[in-house]
């Protein structure tokens, strides 16, 4: 069994055929799909979609760095209100820093991220972290909380050996590995094989984005996570079942609430 730890299956890209997409995921051995939230206005739709597939879809809560603007305090207040004692969220996410396209709200992004790191501690949830062109700044924030028991996933990891060393020095964290691993020119297979033990990896699609080979360039969906598992099996010289078992075990360890919500 596999877990897709990061899929935007609540997106409008799936409005026409979500039941079929979920059926194909089940057929491919996907046991559950975790859905990141990106802003307050998306929560309603996400919860509605999750309600249609309880026991299969599990939501997260968070303000995405690209959704941080001058009104981020209000957005964070709205989101935090949903973090009640019996909230259904498996993680705080997706949160982080993204200075790739736009650094207009750099300081706001940093503040919003740190606030949500504190939520992860207060509400005892893992972090689903998005980081682009901001690795050093990200580590600087996390460094302040080293040893506090933070856990989580560095989603869509595509870095080099140095990045691995920096990020995996945070013990409760794993790398989220998806379609990029299967791309022909990707250096990721080599980086993983030499520097990342399989017990620090969780699977993800980031669908509808980042479709793996042989679907590259098309809409991605959770069923395609099997191609990522297959490639990992090749890289680590293991059979596919071992990769599925280990990465699922890793996910359950990090997303502690998931098995409780499921039973
Ligand atoms: Zn995402």
**Centroid of ligand 1 to alpha carbon of 5 (angstroms):** 10
**Centroid of ligand 1 to alpha carbon of 144 (angstroms):** 25
* Mean pLDDT calculated for residue range 256-260: 96
Residue range(s) defining the domain that contains residue 48: 2-262
What's the whole-model pTM score?
0.97
CATH number at 234 reads: 3.20.20.140
**Centroid of ligand 1 to alpha carbon of 29 (angstroms):** 21
- Total number of domains constituting the chain: 1
Would the pLDDT of 124 be above 80? yes
User: In DSSP terms, which residues pair with 2 in a beta bridge?
Assistant: 30
| Per-residue pLDDT reduced to its tens digit, 85-97 | 999 999 999 999 9
Handedness of CA 178, 50, 66, 72 (dihedral sign): negative
| Per-residue pLDDT reduced to its tens digit, 181-205 | 999 999 999 999 999 999 999 999 9
pLDDT at 230: 97
**Centroid of ligand 1 to alpha carbon of 94 (angstroms):** 7
Cα–Cα distance, 79 to 63 (Å, whole number): 8
pLDDT tier for residue 263 given thresholds of 50, 70 and 90: confident
């Amino acid at each position: 069994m596999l877990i897709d730890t990061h899929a935007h299956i609540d997106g409008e890209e799936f409005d026409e055929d979500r039941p079929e997409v979920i059926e194909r995921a089940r057929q491919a051995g996907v046991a559950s799909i975790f859905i990141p939230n990106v802003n307050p206005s998306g929560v309603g739709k996400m919860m509605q979609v999750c309600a249609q597939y309880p026991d299969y879809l599990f939501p997260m809560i968070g303000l995405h760095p690209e959704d941080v603007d001058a009104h981020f305090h209000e957005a964070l207040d709205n989101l935090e209100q949903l973090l009640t004692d019996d909230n259904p969220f498996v993680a705080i996410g997706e949160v982080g820093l993204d200075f790739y396209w736009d650094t207009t709200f750099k300081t706001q992004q940093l503040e919003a991220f740190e606030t949500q790191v504190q939520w992860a501690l207060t509400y005892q949830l893992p972090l689903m972290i998005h980081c682009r062109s901001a690795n050093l700044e990200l580590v600087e924030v996390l460094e302040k909380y080293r040893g506090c028991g933070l856990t989580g996933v560095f989603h869509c990891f595509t870095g080099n050996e140095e990045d691995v060393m920096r990020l995996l020095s945070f013990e409760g964290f794993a790398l989220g590995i998806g379609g990029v691993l299967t791309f022909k020119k990707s250096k990721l297979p080599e980086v993983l094989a030499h520097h990342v033990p399989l017990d620090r990896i969780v699977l993800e699609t980031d669908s509808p984005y980042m479709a793996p080979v042989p679907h590259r360039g098309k809409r991605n969906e959770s069923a395609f996570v099997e191609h990522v598992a297959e490639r990992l099996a090749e890289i680590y010289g293991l059979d596919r079942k071992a990769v599925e078992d280990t990465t699922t075990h890793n996910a359950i360890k990090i997303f502690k609430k998931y098995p409780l919500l499921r039973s």
